[in-house]
Structure 1
Amino acid sequence: MLIKTRGIVLSYLKYRETSIIARVYTERLGVQTYVVNGVRKAKPPGRIALFQPFTLLELVAYVARGSSGLTRLSEFRCAEPFQTLPYDVHKSSVVLFLSEVLGRVVREEEQNEALFKFLHDSILDFDRQAAGSENFALGFMLQLAAYLGFGISSGSELTDQVIMAGHAATAKGVTGPATLRLHEFDGYFDELLRAPATSTIPNGRVRHELLNVLIRYYQLHVEQMGEIRSLEILSQVLN
C-alpha cells in the first residue's frame, strides 16, 4: 500500500554502500523510518541533500501492514526549498540541535496535524527570519512543550519544577547543576514566551544556560530523553 504525505527529516544513518535509513516526521503517519536506496551514489549528485535535518519533503511511501518497522520510499522530492538554513552556520547549528531534540521527544507513529503544522511553519519562519534568530531555539522549545503536553505559562512555573527536581535529586545523594540561581532566568523565559525575537537576553553564555535549563525541564517530562550532544556545538556558535 502506498500513501502520499508531507514529511520533515529528523536524521539519517548510512546503510550499506549507497543507501540510508532516514527518520522522518510525517503529516499522516507521525514518526516513520524509511530505507532510501541509492541516494549516496555519485550520480545523480545532490540527492543526499534532501535528507539533511529539517528538510521539507513530499513523499510517496510504502505502509507496512499490521506492524511497524522499516519501510521504503517510492518517491520523494523537496517540497519547499530553503533560502538560508543550509548556508548560514548559525542557523544550521540551531537546526542540528533542534532536530536532535525532536528525535528524542517526538516518537508517536500516528497523525498529529497540529504538531506537524507547528513544526512545518516554524521551520519556514526560521528560514526566512533575517533578525532575532539567535533566540529561535529557546522560543521553539517553549512552544513545542505545549504541543507535547507539558507547556508552561510563565518562567517561574518552569524554574520551580526544575528546582524541585534538583532538590529531590540532592536528597537522594545525586549531584547535579546548582539550582539556586534559576529564578534569575524567570524574566527571560517570560519574554521568550511572549516575543522571542525581541528578548533582552544579553549574550550567548546566558542563552546556553537557558537552553540547559530547558533541557533539564524536558528531561523531567520525557522518559529516557538522555543528553543532547549537539548542545555544545550550538553553544560554541552562540558564543
Structure 2
Amino acid sequence: MLYKTEGIVLSNAGYNDKYAITHLFTRDFGPVSYLLPKTRGRRSKINTALFTPLSILNMEVEHLPLRDIQRLKEVDRQTLLFEIGSNPVKVSLTLFLSEFLSKVLRETDNNEVLFDYLKQAIEVLERTKRGLANFHLTFLLGLTRFLGIYPNLENYTRGCYFDMLNGEFTYRSPTHQYLLNERESAYLHLLTRINFSNMHLFRLSRNDRNLIIDRLLTYYRLHLYDFQSIRSLEVLRELH
C-alpha cells in the first residue's frame, strides 16, 4: 500500500549490486529502512543524491507491516540544506548527529512529535550563525524530553549532586558511581535554561563542553537499551 510521509535521512549502507539500504526516521512510521537504487535510470523517480545525512525529504513509499525493508516510489527534497553540506563545523555536527540518532531512535508512540523536533533542529542548524559549538549539547538535552528520559532537574540547591542513574538531584552522594559532582551538577542546572534561541549566550570552554557531552552520553547509555559508543564524537572535541 502506498503512503505519503516525510523522512529524515540517518545513514546509508551497502546491500547488493543494484541497491543500497537507506535508514530514515519518518513522521508516520518512525525508523524505517528502504531499498535505494544505486543507479538512476531514465524512468527512475529516486535521485540517490538526495539521501545525504539529515536531509529532509517528502516521500511516497510502499509500506507493508511485516516487511523489514520497505520500498521508495517517489522522493523530493523538502528543504535545501546548503550550509549543513558545506560549512566544516556543521558537517562535523551532522556526522555526529546522524550517527547518534541512528543509535538512539526506536519505535515510539509519538513519532510525529519527535519528527517535528528533529526537523526543527535541522532547520536551526542550517541557519544558525552563532553558538554552533553548543548546538549538540542543546540538542541532546532537548531530545531527552521526546524519548521519555528527561531528568528531574527541579530542587537544585548549591552543593548538591546529580544522580544520573535515578535522574534527579540529591543532597547525599549516591552509593553508585554514576553521579555528577557539585561543579558538574551546577553546570547541569545552568543548562536547564539553554535552548536553540539562546545557546550562543552560554560561554563554555572546550574542556567544559567536552565534559558535558561525555556526561550526557553516559546518561543516555544508562537509560537507553544497547546504546553503543559514538565513533564520530572525536570530530566535535575540537570545536571552539
Q: Same fold (TM over 0.5)?
A: yes
Alignment counterpart, residue 199 of structure 1, candidates 199, 202, 220: 202
Equivalent residue of 1:32, what SS?
strand
Residue type matched to 1:20 in 2? A
Report if the CA contact (8 A) 2:12-2:23 is conserved: yes
Instruction: Show structure 1 runs of 5+ residues with no match.
Output: 171-175
Please tell me the root mean square deviation across aligned C-alpha atoms, in Å.
Answer: 3.0
For 1:39 and 1:151, locate their aligned partners in 2 and report how far apart those are by CA, in whole Å: 43
Name the structure 1 match of 2:84.
85
Residue type matched to 1:34 in 2? Y
- Stretches of 4+ moved more than 4 A in 1? 163-170, 176-181
Name the structure 2 match of 1:173.
none
> For structure 1, which segment, 9-18 or 211-220, has the greater mean C-alpha deviation from structure 2 after superposition?
9-18
Report if the CA contact (8 A) 2:162-2:180 is conserved: no
The reply on whether 1:136 has 2:135 as its aligned counterpart is yes
Displacement of 1:190: 3.2
Displacement of 1:4: 0.8
Name the structure 2 match of 1:230.
232
Name the structure 2 match of 1:32.
32
- Quick one: structure 1 residues 163 and 29, their matched pair in 2 at CA, closer, same or farther if it must change by over 3 Å? closer
Structure having the higher helix fraction is 1
Give the structure-2-normalised TM-score: 0.82
Instruction: Show structure 2 runs of 5+ residues with no match.
Output: 168-172
Report if the CA contact (8 A) 2:36-2:48 is conserved: no
Name the structure 2 match of 1:148.
147
Q: Deviations over 1:78-114 (max 9, x none)?
A: 1111131000111111111111121111111766211
Q: Deviations over 1:153-178 (max 9, x none)?
A: 53969x612377996665xxxxx999
Q: Deviations over 1:175-204 (max 9, x none)?
A: x99967533533542342593231121x22
Q: Deviations over 1:118-165 (max 9, x none)?
A: 1111111110111112111110111100011111353969x6123779
Report if the CA contact (8 A) 1:163-1:182 is conserved: no
For 1:26 and 1:147, locate their aligned partners in 2 and report how far apart those are by CA, in whole Å: 15
For 1:40 and 1:205, locate their aligned partners in 2 and report how far apart those are by CA, in whole Å: 46
